[in-house]
Every structure is written in C-alpha cells, then in structure tokens.
Amino acid sequence: MLPRRKLRALKSAPAIQSRFANVNGTRLHYLIAGQGDPVVLLHGYAETSHMWLPLMPKLATSRTVIAPDLRGAGQSSTPADGYTKAAMARDIHALTQKLGYERIRIVGHDIGLMVAYAFAAQYPDEVDRIVLMDAFLPGVGKWRDVWLMRDLWHFHFYGETPLALVDGRERIYFEHFWNDFAADRTRSVPEEDRRLYTAAYARPGGMRAGFEIFRAFERDAQDFARFAQTPLPMPMLVLTGERASGEFLIEQGRLAATNVEGVIVRHAGHWLMEEAPDQVIPTLVDFLGR
C-alpha cells in the first residue's frame, strides 16, 4: 500500500496500477501508468519501484510508464540465481515484449543503471534513449577504482556470515546506504520509505537476493567490457550527484556510448530522486520527451 503522503500527491494524476507478470522464469511485480510510447524505470539497491512514484505522473501524461521491481526486490520473486545484470536485463526485455512494446526509453538508478545499460547493449535497436543515474559501470574504464574503495565494503559483503549478521538488523544495514551516500542524511530517503524498503528486503530471500547482485559484479565486468567494445548509438543522459559519482560515471558513459550528455546535480549525493527532485525530475522529463 502506498503511504498517505504519496496517495495525496497522486490523487489527480494518471492512475498507477500494480501488476504482476511471469517472464524469463520469474515473477516480476511492476507499476504502470499512462498511455503512449513506453518509458521503463529501473530502481537501485536499497529501494524498489516505489522510488519512481514522484516521477511517474509527470511522464504518464504523454507516455506509458513502467516501473518494475527487479528480480529479487520489492514484490518480485527471489530466485536463487540470475543476478548478473545481463540476465536481469533479459527479465525486463521479456516484460516489455509481453506488454507488446518493441521500442522503449529506459532509465536506471544505481543497480538499475547497470541493468538499463545491459538492456541497451543487448537490444540496441529497441532503445530510443537511455538515462544512467549515479553509480558505476563494472568493467568499463577504471571501474576498479570504485569497486575496491574501502568505504564501499558492501560490494564484497555476501555469503552465509553476512546473511546471519544482518538477519533481523536489515534497517541498520540499509542506514549505511541511505545516510552515508547522501550529501545530507536529513534530506535523503524519508522515514516512511525507509520502513517500506526495509520490510521489502527483509522478506524471505530478499537479503540473499540483494547480496547476489553484488556477488555478480565480476561477471558483470566481463560482460560490460565486451559490451563496451560496441558503443551505444542512442542518446544517453548521465545524471550524477556532485557529492557522489560526479564526473566518474559521465566519463564511463562516454566510453560506452557515442552521444552522451552529462549533468552533475549540485549539492546532491547518491539519492538523486530524494535529494534533488526539483533538479532531477524536470531534467528527466525534458530528456525523455525529446
């Protein structure tokens, strides 16, 4: 159920429906609204499709907006495997095909940007535009400078012992992301959303699935290094937080695509939709509407 705050904001907006689809051997939950050419929105780790609620009504006035819960997250299934970003992209491709869409515009934040990139790299003729929002691309350029950063220990935190350590303490674990990656933790992910996301990942299989996303990074790096040998031809927007990815992701984007527009969101950290909606939402609406 959506929090009352979000329900009030969406009262006069195009209706957002919650649906499920069995695709690519798993059950995906997704939100959908509007009519017209499709835009797919992919969330990142420590969040779900819920993060896109402020943006969906803005796009749904002229487009069909689809925001799935990625494999292992939200209300989607938590299978034992399939967490390379190329495989997760095939989930999304199967969903768009099942919904009858042959061409899409795609946006991804955090892990979602890796899935969005893998989608565009595997199906370049089916993507009109792509947006990457604050994280990094494994296997592209100096990606190990991020992957091996000491402060990003969670990239290597998976397996039986980490699962035992976070069992019943999921909120403590996620506070690391929501607080430490924000420019100002008081303007990061709001409390009611923190409770919602914690509950979503604390369900059976949720934390293990999230850890498998990180375990797959080395395989992702191999896949992405191969993908980047053929730069993406469609327009790409790279949005980064000034106090997060900064120029790094923009530089990676230019190694992976030929037509890249980079925007650094001033005074923002990693949580762009929450920390700087007044900057980010108009920029997304403009780029996706071209």
Q: Report d(CA 117, CA 98) in Å as an integer.
A: 20
pLDDT digits (tens, 9 = 90+) for 206-244: 999 999 999 999 999 999 999 999 999 999 999 999 999
Q: Are strands 64-68 and 26-33 parallel, antiparallel or unpaired?
A: antiparallel
pLDDT at 7: 47
Q: Mutual orientation of helices 217-227 and 85-98 as an angle, nearest 10°?
A: 70
For the whole prediction, is pTM greater than 0.85?
A: yes
Q: Which pLDDT band holds residue 146 (cuts at 50, 70, 90)?
A: confident
